[in-house]
Amino acid sequence: MEHDLVVFVPGIGGSRLTRDGVDLWNMSLQAMMSLRNPRRALEGLALEPGMEDGHPEGRDAVEVAGLVREPFVLSGLMRHLGYLRMPQVEEHAKPGQYREFAYDWRLSNRTTAEDLQKWTERALGQWQEQARTWYPDMPDDPKVVFLCHSMGGLVTRYYLECLGGREITRSLTTIGTPHRGAAKAARFLTGHAFGTRHPLRWFGENITELCRRLPSVWQLLPVYEAVIKPGEPDRRTLLEEPLGLDSHRLRYAFRFHEQFEEAAAANLTAEGRPYRVHCLAGNAHRTWHGVVARPEGPRYVKELDNSGAWRGDGTVPAGSAVADWHMTSSSDAVWYGHKHASLHGEKPVGRQLAQIFLDKPVRGMLADEEEFGFEAPDLASADTPFEVVVDRCESRRHVVARLRGNGVDLPWTELTPDGAGRRRGSLSAPAGVWTLEVRADNPDTVRRDAVLVIDE
């Protein structure tokens, strides 16, 4: 409601982590892009091997210095175009009513949920002291409206159902949250991010080493039946077919989801659900869904069968983006054609979030004619062409793409038909983190993503 406190919780990579005033990710990224000892560059972000819940001490400890405002790419796993302010929401909020929760995204989501609990209780207490000044006729005490992108939704739902946050919450909105995990996490943890022949496979190997030492990444693993065994009719979970992953770490990751589901079910039976749940998600793009377990090594796939129903936002599968612990159908979610990296910051999503804050009805899906999907590499070599492929786009539409970043807008490139119902074109850029824009006309529609370009 309009007098409630609004709290935004970002996803993985959404908060600036510093040590002695130095931004650890930016420092690591610059070293990686210039090939200066990439393993050592990432060491500053890694935690002690085997760490689970709790805060690190000594050399692994960091300071959290607000949200990341520029594009972030943990290549092949998660990425975003920066967490800028939300004008559609903030224009309705009074001073001190909109807050952003920054956190150490390396840590277990359980630990972060405990930090969110303490932070939220303080923030809500502060807002309650001044709310009546702005809303003298408010019908009840202010509660909290949570707006959560990606992993931030996993943190917040755990706080609500396992740590008592449900009692002070008006609504939970998840934006591209992998409620049931994402296969991209498995690609990195198994060391198969880019393939053995990829010219930049060394980059994936170093990111894999980092990810294996971050509890949060383990908790992003898919908990649905994501593994296909050739010749067998039923899919399996990673617990049943671990693909060489550490069994203890797998049980640890699955237990995080199980604890939440058990608490949510028990709370619902005992008290009902005192807050509303909204899911905003993407369903226009081909997305990694699972893996074929083969003797010669896993092969990751974007479809688990031939039904053609396997889409998502390019990172999170559509089926995983639905809060199935609350919603009975995927039609209960609000779907968009945007990519995971930009979903939280797109204007239609911002308008929807403002509706939720003001306790107004949610709006329906975008018109079908606006939808199209596209694919581009997570990682590219500097000044080397890489391909952008668009599908599900009507033939009457003209499609172009370009890269923007580092204060530079590169020229638009036309994507042309390939004879198989898709559009293709090639782009290239110097090393850096770039925003990829794909635009189609009639009606004018823009989709965006982040691309990391490094020296080979």
Per-residue pLDDT of the chain (456 residues), as tens digits, is 999 999 999 999 999 999 988 888 776 666 555 544 556 667 888 999 999 999 999 999 999 999 999 888 876 667 889 898 888 999 999 999 999 999 999 999 999 999 999 999 999 999 999 999 999 999 999 999 999 999 999 999 999 999 999 999 999 999 999 999 999 999 989 988 766 566 666 677 778 888 999 999 999 999 999 999 999 999 999 999 999 999 999 999 999 999 999 999 999 999 999 999 999 999 999 999 999 999 999 999 999 998 877 999 999 999 999 999 999 999 899 999 999 999 999 999 999 999 999 988 886 544 445 689 999 988 888 999 999 999 999 999 999 999 999 889 999 999 999 999 999 999 999 988 899 999 999 999 999 999 988 887
Tell me the HSE value of 180 on the side-chain side, using a 13 A CA sphere.
19
pLDDT at residue 32 in the model: 57
pLDDT at residue 298 in the model: 93
pTM of the model: 0.95
Q: Confirm if 316 and 154 have CB atoms less than 8 A apart.
A: no
pLDDT at residue 366 in the model: 47
Tokens of 170: 């008006």
pLDDT at residue 244 in the model: 95
Three-class SS of the chain: CCCCEEEEECCCCCEEEEECCEEHHHHHHHHHHCCCCHHHHHHCCCCCCCCCCCCCCHHHCCEEEEECCCCEEECCCEEECCCCCCHHHHCCCCCCCEEECCCCCCCCHHHHHHHHHHHHHHHHHHHHHHHHHHCCCCCCCCCEEEEEECHHHHHHHHHHHHCCHHHHEEEEEEECCCCCCCHHHHHHHCCCCCCCCCCCHHHHHHHHHHHCCCHHHHCCCCCCCCEECCCCCCCECCCCCCCCCCHHHHHHHHHHHHHHHHHHHHHHHHHCCCCEEEEEEECCECCCCEEECCCCCCEEECCCCCCCCCCECCCCECCCCCCCCCCCCHHHCEEECCCCCCHHHCHHHHHHHHHHHCCCCCCCCCCHHHCCEEECCCEEECCCCEEEEEECCCCCCCEEEEEEECCEECCCEECEECCCCCEEEEECCCCEEEEEEEEECCCCEEEEEEEEEECC
Tokens of 107: 């840590």
